[in-house]
Chain A
Amino acid sequence: MPVAADAPVVLEGRKITKTFPGVIANQDVDLTLRAGEIHCLLGENGAGKSTLMNVLYGLYEPDGGEVLVRGEPVRFASSGDAIAHGIGMVHQHFQLIPTFTVAENVALGNETSRLGVLDLDATRERVRDISRRYGLAVDPDAVVGDLSVGVQQRIELIKALYRDAEILILDEPTAVLTPGEVDDFFGVVRGLVDRGKSIIFITHKLREVLAVADRITVLRAGRAVGTADPATATEQDLANLMVGRDVVFTVVKPPATPGEPVLQVADLVVTDTRGVTTVQDLDLTVRAGEIYGIAGVEGNGQRELVEAITGMRPPAAGTITLQGRDITHAGPREVADLGVGHVPEDRNRHGVVGAFSIVDNVVLNQYHKAPFSRRLLRREGPMRALASDLVEQFDVRTPGIDVPVDTLSGGNQQKVIVAREMTRYVHLLVVNQPTRGLDVGSIEFIHRRIVELRDQGVAVLLVSAELDEILSLSDRVGVLYRGRLVGEFDRADTTREHVGLLMASGGETEEVAS
């Protein structure tokens, strides 16, 4: 529902400029938030969205410009001042203590005590009250560490509401959520504005912006480059505005020419770390020169399936064959050396060593082989040559090959991983969530490289929670539901709706409750 253009402005940034040594993070940015609206701030990684929010929230002092709350100029010395003015922020990385209960986390910093003894009764009551009023459904006595990411995010919202926030700043709130949780979350956000809250919603996902925003401001390279009305704007318009050039959305690819089977999985059973069976009697074949996409809501066995194929988790039963060779019980080293590339789901945990240079990261799983090693010694020359070559080929934006990878943006880190895995000698490439958290430009680039690899005759197994990614890249699609493949189609023979239905219900019921 559109918000009247004459609704009062509750928060305004005028000509905000913030520089860090050698870099202008924000330059003359104007932003107005009206009462009861959802204002989306859209921009690529590094466009200055978070800096702007940190200025509005009092974490940074701007070098130029001013912040006004309900028309009054304010100077925040700290986030405490911002909270006192009714501004709350939910950070991308939750600030919760996992071993504490919900009520304890909410009270943290505002605890009430009686004779020195913590008194949480009032907090508990208010948490119940807030969750009832805003439809957040959170039990104040649950231990935070036991709760799903989606629920933890609601606790962050409750923390802000508990402190009487009228203005909520949400920094990439959907980055950590599954598609189902995202829909729930949008419902929650709508409920908040219906009850008079005003929200700044930061994201780089175009679909979400159009689904939820009342107004859109696009940030590029530290400047506000435009505002858009979600009623008239298209994803293409927004993407072009964000990136500053025309973005090719649809992946252009010639029809696949599948060859011999490369990966064959038969009767596979895999259990997770807790011993729960998460992959059940799974059969799967990926041929040379095709992209096989595994669609599914996260947590339906994708992780364990990928780990079993790449040798990181021994299967409980079944067989895995690579080009006719049994690799069921092979470890990660053997699987990699046999020509399997693996772009892992969690790039910081598995994909890169953040403290290491680009050089060390591009040889992470081939440092022991010629030409990178001779008689147990490292050979820096070939390593550096490879790093320079890959940085060039994959357009990794970096000041040099010796900088630690964790100083690069997420998209550039992912390019380092993708570059390493695609340019090794591979017959099979397993990619799990290859574009999570990346901006439009990087997604476009990585998709193009995946298709190129397919056209060179490599078998590609693509796992993604983004249905759009599966549908635009895959030649065949399998739907994973509760550890089983509940459907397998040629891409041309299926629709978004059909796959979505299978993802949600496994095809067990005709209708899905919405």
Chain B
Amino acid sequence: MKARDVAAELRRSLDLQPVLVPLLAIVLAFLTGALVILAIGSNPVDAYTALVRGMYGSSDRIAGSLGRSTPFIGAALAVGFAFRAGLFNIGAEGQLLVGATAAAWVGTWSSVRGLPGIVAIPVLLLAGVVAGGLYGGIPGALKARTGAHEVIVTIMLNAIALLYVRWLVSSQDPLILRDPAATVPRTSRIDDSARLPDLVSSTPLHWGFVIMVALAVLVWFLLQRTTFGFEVRTVGANADAARYAGMGVGRTIVLTMALAGAFAGLAGAGEISGTSGYLSPGVFVNIGFDSIAIALLARANPFAIIPAAILWGSMLSGAGLMQQEVGVSIDIVRIVLALVLLFVAADVIVRTVFRIRKERANALDTTDLAGGWGQT
């Protein structure tokens, strides 16, 4: 082995860059956000202190943050998993909503009522998985059959899901899913037996969080350890080579999108079962879209999605205290999150500021979420 090979091998094993750049992007986003806070005449140190206390200042606040993060994990897995097959799943928003709707509906069935939780909860979650999976499978099948681009199709399916579900939940004549007794449009409350128990009692943190973490492990296992995962990654890295190798490219695309939809559907069902117990229109808005950013921050790595989603959920959860105590608008958090995304996508900025040299992309780091639009 030549000296240069040894050096290259050493650099590879010590390569912290995949983690380093996103972390520094976060730092840079907070610094830039501080400038914005200064510009509106507040003290950024006070604001960030309040924000961090709002996120993690007490056990209740930690639980609140993790609870808020829970659906982001599943929805970001839906985006990240599809991305490994080279598919840009913009449809987590709709898939999550369809899954939540299915769960909210199944939860009110009289046959579910009275079942023990150990049966009722899985039935409810399965409803979300199946509904989300079918809804995610549509763009997959259209892509495999006709070549219709999944970005366009999933965006349209988001709108369809949003409007259709709003009608299902709001309509009084005909009365479909709306709770006739409620003063605002929402579905009837699901049966108590189908509710996921709280992980920390009387907090938003429910067992759905554990399920989502387990899902991330499952997705990793699926991608790295199964032959199907190898097909997914091959189709994503080089679809022509996948075809040459005899893989069913169309089949892989359909299955990948269906599974991605199922992950988002599970996240939606988990929220119905773990938090409110009913569905009101607009309640899950933007979770699927934020998850695209989370998947990007995590570079579609299933494990990295967990901390990325927790950061996202925590900041949204902690922003309230910052507004209360320091008078800095919640929107500052949105700005910081947007900056994180900007700096991750435009990583040249981060590399320039912190003087990190670009290394040759290695196999685990070829996930370029910012590129790839329009080319499949």
Measured CB to CB, the residues of A under 8 A from B are 21-23, 311-312, 331-337, 342, 344, 349-357, 360, 364-365, 367-368, 373, 376-378, 399-400, 403-404, 407
Contact = CB atoms under 8 A, between A and B. Distances in A.
Interface string B212-243: 00000000000011111110011001101111
A22 B4 contact: yes
10 contacts: A336-B245, A344-B244, A352-B238, A355-B237, A355-B366, A356-B363, A376-B228, A378-B229, A404-B362, A407-B360
3 pairs of A and B residues whose beta carbons are closest in the complex:
A333-B246, A22-B4, A399-B5
Given A378-B227, A378-B230, A365 B4 contact: no
Nearest to B3: A22
Interface string B353-376: 000000011110010000000000
Contact of B240 (A311, A350, A400): A350
Given A22-B7, A356-B363, A399-B1, A365 B244 contact: yes
B8 interface: yes
B363 A355 contact: yes
Nearest to A373: B227
B35 to A, nearest CB: 34
A400 B363 CA distance: 14
A21 B7 contact: yes
B326 interface: no
Contacts of A311: 246
Interface in B1-50: 1, 3-9, 12
B241 A353 contact: yes
Tell me what chain B mostly uses at the interface: helix, strand, loop, or mixed.
helix
Contact of B244 (A312, A360, A377): A312
Contacts of B335: none
Residue of B1, B238, B242 with most partner-chain A CB within 10 A: B238
B247 interface: yes
Residue of A331, A373, A403 with most partner-chain B CB within 10 A: A403
Contacts of B244: 312, 332, 342, 344, 350-351, 365
A352 B244 CA distance: 10
Contacts of B228: 376
Nearest to B247: A333
Contacts of B225: 377-378
A330 B242 CA distance: 16
Contacts of B242: 353
B238 A354 contact: yes
A354 B224 CA distance: 17
A363 to B, nearest CB: 8
Interface of B: 1, 3-9, 12, 224-230, 233-234, 237-238, 240-248, 360-363, 366
B9 A400 contact: yes
Given A353-B238, A365-B246, A367-B227, 11 more contacts: A331-B246, A332-B246, A333-B248, A351-B241, A352-B241, A355-B238, A356-B234, A360-B230, A364-B234, A376-B226, A377-B225
A56 B226 CA distance: 50
A336 B246 CA distance: 8
Residue of A355, A360, A364, A377 with most partner-chain B CB within 10 A: A355
A235 to B, nearest CB: 29
Contacts of B229: 378
A333 to B, nearest CB: 3
Residue of B6, B230, B242 with most partner-chain A CB within 10 A: B230
A376 B227 contact: yes
A354 B6 CA distance: 21
B222 to A, nearest CB: 10
B237 A356 contact: yes
Nearest to A361: B241
Contacts of A407: 360
Contacts of A364: 234, 241, 245
Contacts of A353: 234, 237-238, 241-242
Contacts of B3: 22
Nearest to B230: A367
B241 A349 contact: yes
Contacts of B361: 355, 404
A357 B241 contact: no
B8 A22 contact: yes
A23 B11 CA distance: 14
Contacts of A400: 9
Contacts of A351: 241, 244
A407 B224 CA distance: 21
A384 to B, nearest CB: 14
B14 to A, nearest CB: 14
A11 to B, nearest CB: 29
B9 A399 contact: yes
Contacts of B227: 367-368, 373, 376-378
Given A354-B238, A360-B230, A378-B225, A332 B1 contact: no
Nearest to B238: A353
A376 B226 CA distance: 6
A312 B363 contact: no
Nearest to B233: A356
A85 to B, nearest CB: 30
A334 B1 CA distance: 39
A400 B222 CA distance: 25
Nearest to B7: A22
B8 A377 contact: no
Contacts of A23: 4
Contacts of B233: 356
Residue of B230, B240, B246 with most partner-chain A CB within 10 A: B246
A502 to B, nearest CB: 30
Contacts of A376: 226-228
B241 A399 contact: no
Contacts of A367: 227, 230
Contacts of B360: 407
Residue of A22, A331, A344, A377 with most partner-chain B CB within 10 A: A22
Nearest to A368: B227
B105 to A, nearest CB: 33
Contacts of A399: 1, 5-6, 8-9
Contacts of B238: 349, 352-355
Nearest to B12: A403
Contacts of A404: 361-363
Contacts of B243: 312, 332, 350
Nearest to B235: A353
A480 B365 CA distance: 44
Contacts of B4: 21-23
Contacts of B366: 355
A342 B9 CA distance: 32
A22 B10 CA distance: 12
A400 B8 CA distance: 11
A449 B143 CA distance: 42
A334 B12 CA distance: 38
Contacts of B7: 21-22
Nearest to B367: A355
Contacts of A337: 246
Nearest to A307: B244
B95 to A, nearest CB: 25
A407 to B, nearest CB: 7
A368 B9 CA distance: 30
Nearest to A363: B230
Residue of B8, B241, B360 with most partner-chain A CB within 10 A: B241
A386 to B, nearest CB: 15
